[in-house]
Amino acid sequence: MELDHHQVDPLHPSDDVLIQNSGQVEEIHSLPATPQAVRIVEVVEEVDHSFELNTELLEQILLNPKVADKKVAVIGVAGAYRKGKSFLLNFFLRYLTWRSKADKVMGEIDLENSQWMSPNSPLSGFSWRGGSERDTNGILIWSEPFLMKDKNGEEIAVLLMDTQGAFDSQSTVKDCATIFALSTMISSVQ
């Protein structure tokens, strides 16, 4: 099968791309063709619990001409592991995706309309799952900021941010404190 430059052969990932069975992109250095959650901070748990910032990805998201000069609002979720942070963010994502599509089609949208909940489609976006082991590692943001208007009518870029759950058996106290501090400092709403 021929692959174009946007596609990745899951059996033979290139050096800088690793795709898990879930389909979630684990480590990438350029933005994926379709919007998805990308890890901007990784906690290297296997080695020394250091933190790695993926500046290339962050630059590509934040310096995109569509959003570069705009004010930004970061909606972040932080807290104890296995409590539904990623699950909750996927509903925000669903709403914002629906709203930006509806905005394009209808101009003014009917906010009472709860179509966006669409309970028949599977909940996707940020990786989430059941079970007792922590799922999210590091800090992830949705690769495509959403353009919305603030209360003064000014266009702002809204970013969704997911964080590693705290207090699980893998993380050190420093890991949890660092993730929590970073997310608190970055978030406009938490």
Ligand X SMILES: Nc1nc2c(ncn2[C@@H]2O[C@H](COP(=O)(O)OP(=O)(O)OP(=O)(O)O)[C@@H](O)[C@H]2O)c(=O)[nH]1
Which residues of this protein are in contact with Mg ion, per CB under 5 A?
Answer: 85-86, 135-136
Calculate the CA 47 to chain-centre distance.
24
Question: Which position among 81, 96, 178, 182 is part of the footprint of ligand X (CB under 6 A)?
Answer: 81
Q: Work out how close the CB of 9 gets to Mg ion at its nearest, in angstroms, rounded to a whole number.
A: 28
85 binds ligand X (CB under 6 A): yes
Question: Which position among 24, 128, 141, 176 is part of the footprint of ligand X (CB under 6 A)?
Answer: 128
Q: Of the two residues 96 and 161, which places its CB atom closer to Mg ion in the complex?
A: 161
CB within 8 Å of 45: residues ≥ 6 apart: 137, 170, 171, 175
Q: Work out how close the CB of 67 gets to ligand X at its nearest, in angstroms, rounded to a whole number.
A: 26
135 binds ligand X (CB under 6 A): yes
Q: CA-to-CA distance for 137 and 41, rounded, in angstroms?
A: 8
* Residue type at position 110: D
Sign of CA dihedral 93, 99, 105, 111: positive
24 binds ligand X (CB under 6 A): no
138 binds ligand X (CB under 6 A): no
Q: Work out how close the CB of 81 gets to ligand X at its nearest, in angstroms, rounded to a whole number.
A: 4
Q: Of the two residues 132 and 152, which places its CB atom closer to ligand X in the complex?
A: 132
Q: Name beta bridge partners: 41.
A: 53, 139
Binding string to ligand X for residues 165 to 184, with x set by CB under 6 A, is what?
x-------------------
Question: Which position among 136, 143, 171, 183 is part of the footprint of ligand X (CB under 6 A)?
Answer: 136
Task: Give me the phi and psi of 18, to 5 degrees please.
Answer: -130, 120
Asked if residues 128 and 93 have their Cβ atoms less than 8 Å apart, the reply is no
Q: Of the two residues 42 and 135, which places its CB atom closer to Mg ion in the complex?
A: 135
Q: How far is CA 65 from CA 28, 60, 61, 112, in A?
A: 21, 10, 9, 32
Contact partner, 134, from ligand X, Mg ion, none, Cβ < 5-8 Å per class: ligand X
CA within 13 Å, CB half, 32: 21
Residues that bind ligand X (CB under 6 A): 81-87, 128-130, 134-136, 165
